[in-house]
Amino acid sequence: RISVAPAPGDAGLEPGPLSLPNGQRQFDASLGQQVEILTGEIEARLPLRARDGEHHLEVTSQGCADAGLCYPPTTQA
């Protein structure tokens, strides 16, 4: 899981839709459904509209191990 949002209090930044590469589809037995996974480094595109000045984004991501255990989400500013 990956999401991007303006940092708290940064009202002058409007991110557009996050574009990620196509992942690999695989069956997740713990969820009982097909999921799409991304591995290694990825390149994402994010259009931004911003007012003048400095702005900050927060990127939240969550990874899962092949065994099905998911790590806690982490946020980077």
Local confidence pLDDT in tens for the 77 residues of the chain: 889 999 998 888 888 999 999 999 988 877 788 888 888 888 999 999 888 888 899 999 988 887 778 899 999 98
The residues pairing with 76 across neighbouring beta strands, listed in sequence order, are: 59
Taking phi first (over 0 means left), then psi (-120 to 50 degrees means alpha), and beta for anything else, what does residue 30 get? alpha
Is residue 38 within 8 A of residue 21, CB to CB? The reply is: yes
pLDDT of residue 45: 93
Total-model pTM: 0.73
pLDDT of residue 73: 93
pLDDT of residue 1: 82
Which residues lie below 8 Å from residue 66, measured CB to CB, with a gap of 6+?
none
